[in-house]
Chain A
Amino acid sequence: MSAAERTQAVDGIRPRRTAGKAVVAVAVLLLLAAAPLVLGAYPVSTMTRILAFAVLVLSVDLLTGVTGLPTLGQAAYFGAGAYTAALVGIHLTSDASVQLLAGLVAGLVTAALTGWVAVRARGVVFLMLTLAIGESVHQVADTWSVVGASNGLAGMPPITLFGGPPLLAAGFVYWWVLAAAVVVFAAVALVVRSPYGRTLRGIRDNEARMRALGYRPALARYGVFCLAGAVAGTGGALWAAHARFVSPGDLGFEVAALALLSVVIGGAGSLWGPCLGAALVLLVRDNLSAAVGGHGPLVLGLVFVAVVFLLPRGVAGLAAGIRRRKEGLS
């Protein structure tokens, strides 16, 4: 592989495949959009939750996969977004776009306030600091009476859009969440392919060299941390729009761990892989848990261990391997 080819492979831009990829993307989008027309209310509601969770997973991937900073703290910003959206929904307006914006800003601000502590570190220390931040925010949510403490925040009215009637049907809420999630996905994809995204990958692969080239890794890391906070906050607002109830459990350790697991299952650094991982993880948690008598965490724990040994590079890594093997044959 020549250097230029390698750069292309790393960036995920392969001119030969662009057309094929676009077809697949449009087909997936159409299938997702058509889902409420053929599926019942329960599967649609499950898919809504998967989409909101996938936005959180995207934010984890932005840090862990693209920038190489393993994080267990994104659930905190997800929760900040969810709580803010719910508070806006209860006290100000039921307009979903306002709630979404409020959630985005809340995630951004919380990440900006807490992130400077974390971005000085790398590797496991970063993991440790984000975990400490996440758990602190979780415990604040668990004790602070303004947000309902351990009872959570209930009583959020159904969302409306652009002054229309309340969206009561699961399908309408799903379409709103889908539209927002697609926009977020596109925005993250743009960032990852921009020169800034290239800088982030450079920092991941060789920070000393990037510094020698005149980049400022600390600033770039802080920037991506704030960005990831905003993405997670958006995911939280979408989660609240669907659930209309936020509890401290929504920003707990388990959510953060599941988001990280989704990224690892999907393949860190790829964008579509972790989204697939998010769907898998939520389906396993919600359905397998009932099948094994409510002992979901037991199964999940075993999944964590199994993933490390069986899927070291994730689903995306698996797909890339198959592609490489095919190309080697032809």
Chain B
Amino acid sequence: MVTYLVGALNGLAMGSLLFAIALGLSLVFGMMDVLNLAHGAVYLVGAYVAVALAGDGASPAAFVLAVPAAAGAGAVLGGVLAGLSRATPHHLDQALLTLGVSLVVAELLSVFFGNDVHSVAAPAPVAGSVTVFGESYPVYRLLVIGFGVVLAVGVYALVERSRLGSLIRATVADRGMVSALGVHTGRVLVGVFAAGAGLAAVGGVLAGPILGAAPGLDEKVLLLALVVVVIGGLGSVRGALLGAVLIGQVQALGTTLLPEYASFLVFAAMALVLLLRPAGLLPARTAVHA
């Protein structure tokens, strides 16, 4: 029983990270109909920023510094991707463009950091563990769960309660109409693309002490983020949150119970959701999709 509870905690930590990563993917998809296949590479950039700045248990300040550094790098990359994918209206071309960028970024990372698996130590003050359910549990993961809660509340406030948020939701729902009302939707799109990519890179930093950084991690993370977005519903913030929590739990339970079939379980969860709710669990309410 205790094993399951600890597994559930791990799942929540994973869910928090997945929410941070999948949010940008989902919003960009909802707004522009662009599937950003470089999203995993952006995440990996964040992870390697953490390796470079706080690789082997450097000071907590270095780790804290890695967060804005990764966010900046991610946002720049996101801006470039937004510009590229706006240059062509075809889905297939956009997919190829983002795919190309992801290959280039991943290869550059492995040129600079080598092909070894790098680990990132949690910053010293939170590197220890506390007793949870009678077992010791890393403090850092509890902090990640806390980050997820704060992020969810913050994003909810921003998207559902602010003027900027209503602009974002309106652009997801009907870009042409928002544009006709005199809003420069291009700026909204690039802004959301950059912010989403920045958030994914921050996710990479925070996931560093849990998942480390290695070539190939970008594809795994991209797959999980895709499944989260598909399960939650495209273009929906609440859907991304629900999907992330669900997939976090599926992953954690899978690795505890059936380690060999964990990836199969993720696909099974996606197939099950699509069988029952083809549009995802919480599709964007106002989105108009063909």
Contact = CB atoms under 8 A, between A and B. Distances in A.
B81 to A, nearest CB: 11
A309 B97 CA distance: 9
A264 B88 CA distance: 14
A22 interface: no
B260 A145 contact: yes
A139 B265 CA distance: 11
Contacts of A295: 107, 111
Contact of A143 (B100, B106, B262, B275): B262
Interface stretch (B131-139, B167-175, B266-274): B266-274
B34, B87, B264, most chain A CB atoms within 10 A? B264
A132 B223 contact: yes
Interface string B214-241: 0000011011001101100010000000
A307 interface: yes
B28 to A, nearest CB: 11
10 contacts: A64-B92, A128-B226, A132-B223, A140-B263, A260-B92, A260-B96, A268-B92, A301-B103, A302-B100, A308-B96
Contacts of B263: 136, 139-140, 142-143
Interface string B26-37: 000100011101
Contacts of A123: 33, 91, 290
A8 to B, nearest CB: 26
Contacts of A143: 259-263
B248 to A, nearest CB: 17
Interface in A284-308: 295, 297-298, 300-305, 307-308
A61 interface: no
A9 interface: no
Contacts of B34: 124
A128 B278 contact: no
B153 interface: no
B230 A253 contact: no
A120 interface: yes
Interface in A127-149: 127-129, 131-133, 135-136, 139-140, 142-145
Nearest to B25: A128
B100 A301 contact: yes
Given A132-B230, A136-B266, A253-B219, A124 B33 contact: yes
The binding surface of chain A is classed by DSSP as helix
B56 interface: no
A43 interface: no
B107 A120 contact: no
A12 interface: no
A81 to B, nearest CB: 19
B124 interface: no
Contact of A132 (B88, B97, B102, B270): B270
A261 B234 CA distance: 26
B93 A308 contact: yes
A61 to B, nearest CB: 12
A260 B227 CA distance: 21
Contacts of B271: 114, 117
A303 B107 CA distance: 14
Given A64-B92, A144-B260, A268-B92, A132 B107 contact: no
Contact of B274 (A70, A117, A131, A135): A117
A298 B103 CA distance: 6
Interface string B91-116: 11101110111111111100100000
A112 interface: no
A191 to B, nearest CB: 22
Contacts of A303: 100
A19 to B, nearest CB: 34
Q: Which of B33, B93, B106, B111 has the most CB of A within 10 A?
A: B93
A127 B95 contact: yes
B158 interface: no
B84 interface: yes
Contacts of A307: 96
Nearest to A136: B267
